[in-house]
Amino acid sequence: MPKVQQFECTIKTGKVGTDCDVVMVFNGHPLPFDAPSGGTASGETFTGSFAPMSVAHSISIVGPTSGEWQIDEIAVTYHLDIGEPYSARFGPIGLDITNQVNIWAEPPRPTFDV
Amino acid sequence: MVIGLRKRIRRLLDRMDGERERVSTAPFSIQADDAPPPPKAPEPLPAAESKTTDPSAISAEGVSEREVVQAPRLVDASENAPEEDDGSIRIKAEVSKAGDECRFLTNRTILEGFSWWYEEAQDAVDSALPASLFEVDGVESVLVDDSTVVVTRAGDRFADWRPMAAQVGQLIREQLASDATLIGQSVLDSLPDPAEVETTVQQVIETEINPGVAAHSGFITLTHIRGNSVTISMGGGCQGCSAADVTLRQGIHKSFRDAMPSIGAIYDETDHAAGLNPYFT
């Protein structure tokens, strides 16, 4: 299975922002983003990256430890150790203390005309 | 001349040093024509705007208790733009994640609204399309689902599919362009009532499959019936389990088809990445 060398994540916050830290979970382990920038107040955009250099079974963004967080869009670009980088975009989702949102998308399956 | 000017400036600065505190604290500068401009005072650092991402407030145990939710996947309109129909037969090959099968998506309807699984060549005696595909060396089984043909091959699942896919694609194109009976009458006469499929599948899940996978804290749910095609999802210990594919192919497929041989395609729509407590990791 291919390894994720690095991924970059952009989160656009909707009408309800959060003061809580942005925590990413890679294969069940809560981890900080490298080089975070931006914010998660209403209307703000947060960006961060991470270089796991590992096979990804799951990647998620954890809901806030208090209150709610309304996300308008999450965009992730994945760089694997094989193949070209690819991106996935996810639409609106509401997070709170009970949940986490998946941001892992497997690489597109190769298709070819025959 | 430059050296002299600098000495004068130095003397002036020394003289003014003593008066600076007494006379004024206002900033001043003396600049020679060729002297570099004094460095500007650094701008005060802006207040931290970047969000912190400290994970210490959340433990791995705390994470595992949280539900994994799935946001809708956004797709650019250009990705789903239909290809211009110029009347030609188009076939696109897509290799499965496991590498053991290849889907051939065509722009022609082969078996409208239904599917049929040909386990071996003798099942396809009156169906020209699958019969021709069984002649390709290595083809193990053929599934026809509406406008799609799925070919399973024996042998190395990591081997390059392109040579065989090119062969299969050419045969599908030839068959679609011919007047041959693509799907035999014996198959068409055997297509079951979807309501009967649903009843049978539900019964098999409740009486046979779920009692079995319960030992691994798993369960199977029937999510959709289309014609004689069945879609299920896995939960509990089955969701995300590394043996889920084995359970699907060797357990669920067999149980469904033993109970009703006319069941066609069987799909698993489980989001295995979202499994919280898989039996095998």
How high is the pLDDT of residue B15? 52
User: Which of A28, A36, A74 is closest, CB to CB, to B71?
Assistant: A74
Q: What is the mean pLDDT of residues B188-207?
A: 96
Q: What is the DSSP string of A70-101?
A: EEEEEEEEEEESSS--EEEEE--EEE-TTEEE
Is residue A29 over pLDDT 50? yes
Q: Which fold has domain B90-190?
A: Ribosomal Protein S8; Chain: A, domain 1 (3.30.1370)
B92 touches B147 (CB < 8 A): no
Do the domains B194-274 and B90-190 match in fold? no
Question: How sure is the predictor about A111, in pLDDT bands with cuts at 50, 70 and 90?
Answer: confident
Q: How far is CA B218 from the centre of its chain?
A: 23
Which residues in chain B have Cβ-Cβ distances shorter than 8 Å to A12?
none
Q: Which amino acid is at B210?
A: N
Q: What SS3 state is found at A40?
A: coil
pLDDT surpassing 50 at residue A65: yes
Nearest by CB to B74, which of A91, A101, A104?
A91
- The pLDDT of residue B21 is 40
Reduce the DSSP state of residue A72 to 3 states and report it.
strand
Distant-in-sequence, close-in-space partners of B271: CB < 8 Å, separation ≥ 6: A102, B70, B239
Provide, as residue numbers in chain A, all residues whose Cβ is less than 8 Å from the Cβ of B169.
114
How far apart CA B59 and CA B46 sit, in angstroms, is 32
Under the banding of pLDDT at 50, 70 and 90, the label for residue B242 is confident
User: What pLDDT is stored for residue B145 in this prediction?
Assistant: 96
The pLDDT tens digits for A73-107 are: 999 999 999 888 999 999 999 999 999 999 999 88
Question: How sure is the predictor about B11, in pLDDT bands with cuts at 50, 70 and 90?
Answer: low
Tell whether B54 is within 8 A of chain A (Cβ): yes
Residue A24 to residue B104, Cβ atoms within 8 A: no
**Chain A contact present for B74, CB below 8 A:** yes
Tokens encoding A38: 């931006």
A-B contacts at Cβ under 8 angstroms: 136
Q: Is A4-102 CATH 2.60.60?
A: yes
Task: Name the residue among A92, A109, A113 with its Cβ closest to that of B95.
Answer: A109
Q: Decide: residue A106, CB within 10 A, 0-12 exposed, 13-18 middle, 19+ buried.
A: middle
* Structure tokens that stand for A2 in this block: 């291919």
Nearest chain A residue to B275, by CA: A58
Give the ipTM.
Answer: 0.92
**Please, how many CA atoms are within 13 Å of residue B91, restricted to the half-sphere of its CB?**
23
Domain ranges of chain A: 4-102
CB B142 within 8 A of CB B151: yes
| pLDDT at position A107 | 87
Alpha-carbon span B139 to B126, nearest angstrom: 18
Domain boundaries, chain B: 90-190, 194-274
Encode pLDDT of B12-43 as tens digits. Answer: 445 545 444 433 333 334 444 454 554 454 45
Query: What's chain B's average pLDDT?
Result: 81
Residue of B nearest to A33 (CA): B53
Q: Using an 8 Å Cβ cutoff, are A36 and A60 in contact?
A: no
CA atoms within 13 A on the CB side of A25: 29
CATH of domain B194-274: 3.30.300.130
CA distance B166 to A51: 38
Kindly tell me the sign of the dihedral angle through the C-alpha atoms of B116, B121, B127, B131. Answer: positive
- What is each CA distance from B270 to A74, B61, B221, B236, B274, in whole angstroms? 22, 24, 10, 11, 9
